[in-house]
Amino acid sequence: MRAPEASEGLTAAEARVLRLVSESKTNREIASSLGISPATVKRHLENILRKLRVRNRVEAAIYSLMSECDGGNNAECPLAAWRRRHESRRNGPIGR
């Protein structure tokens, strides 16, 4: 399993922000949970985007989640659960 904070040079604070971004938290929610200002969250996010070479928080969240997946075959992968839910909807009566 590849840890983005180790391989991409993220600081511990940036790694915490990235984890919360990957949980769909807003900057305000992240700031509140970490006890920092929304401006500090914004600065961390700018650094994360630059270091990971991604364009926005959605790509950063996907990057973070994929780094936990070992190629997507890991049953513990956050995206695997989403994929299973999505496929069950697609194969349901409406998706046929």
Cβ-contact 15, 5 below 8 angstroms: yes
Question: Where are the chain's structural domains?
Answer: 4-70
Reply yes or no on whether the pLDDT at 3 is more than 60.
no
pLDDT by residue (tens digit) across 33-54? 999 999 999 999 999 999 999 9
**Is 0.75 surpassed by the pTM of this model?**
no
DSSP for 10-33, please give it: --HHHHHHHHHHTTT--HHHHHHH
Q: Identify the CA nearest to 82 among candidates 64, 70, 95, 65.
A: 65
Cβ-contact 37, 51 below 8 angstroms: no
* Domain covering 4-70: architecture: Orthogonal Bundle (1.10)
